[in-house]
Amino acid sequence: MRGLEFQGRHGASAAERKTHRRFQVDVDLHVASLPAVHSDRLADTVDYHAVCGLIEAIGTGHTYHLIEALAGAIVAAIEERWPAVTVAIEVRKLHPPCPGNPAFTAVRLRT
């Protein structure tokens, strides 16, 4: 999944957490064996609609000081719901309040 977007109140400073900021998430899910290849049933695979909803709920429903903690919470929730899945994730804070006006800052985690 690429480019999932939401607005959240995440940031190291209290000033950052007072207003909403835009975040973007990319997620790769890896499964060793996927019964859905043969069954063609949604019940036998990861429901990507549900993954997107889970990411958005965490990103908008909680507040984190660090994008590392936000990424870790997303990974933990995905792995709890779909234990057979390993996750690689990138979380980007778009237009952070940093010198030089970067387009984003990001963290990548892999399980």
DSSP at 46? -
| Residues in contact with 58: Cβ distance below 8 Å, sequence separation at least 6, in sequence order | 70, 73, 74, 77
> What count of Cα atoms within 13 Å lies in the side-chain half-sphere of residue 30?
7
Q: Is 93 among the residues known to form the active site?
A: yes
**Annotated catalytic residue, options 23, 93, 96, 106:** 93
Q: Which positions are catalytic?
A: 93
